[in-house]
Amino acid sequence: MINDVVRVRFAPSPTGYLHVGGLRTALYNYLFAKHNNGVFVLRIEDTDRNRYVEGAVENLISTMKWNGLGYDEGPEVGGEYGPYFQSQRLEIYNKHVNELIAKGNAYRCFCSAERIQKLREEQQVQKLQAKYDKHCLNLTKEEIENKIQAGEQFVIRLNVPANQRIIIEDIVRGNVEFNSDTVDDQILIKSDGFPTYHLANVVDDHLMKITHVIRGEEWLSSTPKHVLLYDFLGWEKPKFAHLPLLLNPDKSKLSKRQGDVAVEDYQKKGYLKEALINFVALLGWNAGDDVEIYEIEQLIEKFSLERVNKAGAVFNVEKLDWLNFEHLKKKPNAEILIMLKEELKHSKYAEINFSDEYLLNVIDSMKERVNFVKEFIDKSFYYFESPTEFDEKVIQKSWKEDTPQQLTELRSAFEKIDNPKKEDFENALRSTAEKLNVGAGKLIHPLRLAVSGTGQGPGLFDLLYTLGKEEVIKRINTALETIKPN
């Protein structure tokens, strides 16, 4: 191996948001590094200046921090193999590309965009693979010097040898074989002097002592070019692992057309980082057991590249919702309280001061009924404001002619209790039902409607206890005045 210590890298381009596919690549690299007591490197591949988006690097780093994927080397952290921005490493790439030219493994190409386009069109008509025809490979040294002196623009291309077997040893896919005749003379340095991904990532992976290259399946077809570069430069190759595609439910490639693909979109929607990490980890990997709920420490302990699948992984939002429910349910109420208070700050109830004790009671009663923290507010608005409207269907079903008289009796029973606990409300209701010679349900359903405006929600006595005696009585009075069944 290149190095005794496992060293992996996540190397995104700052072209916008962090895609969930990028998050999975980062996560698998992180898990593999931590499982093997290795090093996780973040490197910014910012050599495509046309696609560079201002602020994308900062967004990327903050999104990774939110997900808990701390890196050991990279921007803001440093490390002995920097700089970690490729745009700051141009001299390094030029040195190595000049070495390739001197060996005959790369050459300058002065062909115009028009000639390349024409060549592509001719190949299309003849149903040939689109690839460069090595037109500039045979230019003499003098011709090259004259063109450079005349200010002609050029790129530098890889000189791919004819009819060679290129074998890639892939941890996920086994041995994958290519014939070099199917590999284009890839551009290594563009006319603006910046390297392409292919040159820069090979040079950087070698100099940064990367032992394992873990990346998406879409890079597999480019890997023969990378293998050739390692061979031409006389370098030991890292181990490769190409991860399966992420798919929409209809098995098409995951795209924004069918739903959110940016990690920050899921963050804004209120998904917990623990749930998102758990979900993304299972997109193409399993530990070989029936476990589906994982904390990050368990993922680190169990992760291996040998358990990554070849087949594409379907992105199922319903499963993500379920995982969010499960992770939220596991959280201590005190932790949920902090998040709920933050949600309330951005709600219409921001100016109301709810005590921590009150909100903890709300959490306790609703925890099994919500997928997201914001649903503590959305699904139980009656904890934050008195109902002014009452569900018409519940009125028709539960509010009978004798209901006002029965609720009046119940109100009197409640008024007699001092500092009622949950069981005090229940005892008062059941004794009132007995006194009226009716089933408890005859009181429970209209009482729930009176205090919440709806026919469903948490346990009724949890609700009454949380609201408190005075608020319950006030709401019964409002319902008695407001509800007029047809």
Which 3 state secondary structure label does DSSP give 130? Answer: coil
- Averaged over 38-58, what is the pLDDT? 92
The correct answer on CATH 1.10.8 for the domain covering 331-380 is yes
Q: Which residues pair with 55 in a beta bridge?
A: none
Separation between Cα atoms, residue 335 and residue 284, nearest integer Å = 31
- Check for a shared fold between 90-243 and 331-380: no
CATH code for the structural domain at 256-329: 1.10.1160.10
Percent of the chain with pLDDT over 90: 93
Question: 104 vs 232, 233, 376, CA distance in Å?
Answer: 9, 11, 67
Question: 481 vs 294, 302, 452, 478, CA distance in Å?
Answer: 51, 61, 15, 5
At 486 the pLDDT is 65
- Strand 174-179 vs strand 165-170: parallel, antiparallel, or unpaired? antiparallel
Is the CA virtual torsion 214, 14, 277, 247 positive or negative? negative
Environment class of 99 (CB within 10 Å of its CB; exposed 0-12, middle 13-18, buried 19+): middle
Separation between Cα atoms, residue 199 and residue 158, nearest integer Å = 9
Query: Angle of helix 441-452 relative to helix 460-467, nearest 10 degrees?
Result: 40
Per residue in 74-90, pLDDT (tens digit) is 999 999 999 999 999 99
Which 3 state secondary structure label does DSSP give 486? Answer: coil
Give pTM, 2 decimals.
0.92
Q: What is the 3-state secondary structure (H, E, C) of 391-456?
A: CHHHHHHHCCCCHHHHHHHHHHHHHCCCCCCHHHHHHHHHHHHHHHCCCCHHHHHHHHHHHHCCCC
Separation between Cα atoms, residue 26 and residue 8, nearest integer Å = 10
pLDDT(1) > 60:
no
Domain boundaries defined on the chain: 90-243, 256-329, 331-380, 386-486
- Averaged over 226-242, what is the pLDDT? 98
Question: 403 vs 227, 244, 307, 382, CA distance in Å?
Answer: 81, 62, 62, 21
| Tokens 């063109």 belong to residue | 147
Q: Which residues pair with 420 in a beta bridge?
A: none
Per residue in 360-382, pLDDT (tens digit) is 999 999 999 999 999 999 999 99
pLDDT(445) > 90:
yes
Task: Look up residue 317 and give its two tokens.
Answer: 């939002």
Which 3 state secondary structure label does DSSP give 123? Answer: helix
Per residue in 302-351, pLDDT (tens digit) is 999 999 999 999 999 999 999 999 999 999 999 999 999 999 999 999 99
Between residues 151 and 256, the one the model is more confident about: 151
At 484 the pLDDT is 85
Active site residues: 256
At 53 the pLDDT is 86
pLDDT(2) > 80:
no
CATH code for the structural domain at 90-243: 3.40.50.620
- Strand 7-10 vs strand 39-42: parallel, antiparallel, or unpaired? parallel
Nearest of 136, 335, 291, 169 to residue 237 by alpha carbon: 169
Separation between Cα atoms, residue 85 and residue 69, nearest integer Å = 19
The residue type at 264: E
Separation between Cα atoms, residue 201 and residue 230, nearest integer Å = 11
Which 3 state secondary structure label does DSSP give 179? Answer: strand
Task: Look up residue 448 and give its two tokens.
Answer: 């729930």
Question: 338 vs 1, 275, 366, CA distance in Å?
Answer: 47, 18, 16
Nearest of 275, 109, 80 to residue 186 by alpha carbon: 109
Residue 215 phi, psi dihedral angles, 5° rounding: -150, 175
At 256 the pLDDT is 65
Per residue in 385-404, pLDDT (tens digit) is 999 999 999 999 999 999 99
- Averaged over 96-111, what is the pLDDT? 98
386-486, CATH topology level: Arc Repressor Mutant, subunit A (1.10.10)
Per residue in 106-161, pLDDT (tens digit) is 999 999 999 999 999 999 999 999 999 999 999 999 999 999 999 999 999 999 99
At 296 the pLDDT is 97
- Averaged over 434-442, what is the pLDDT? 96
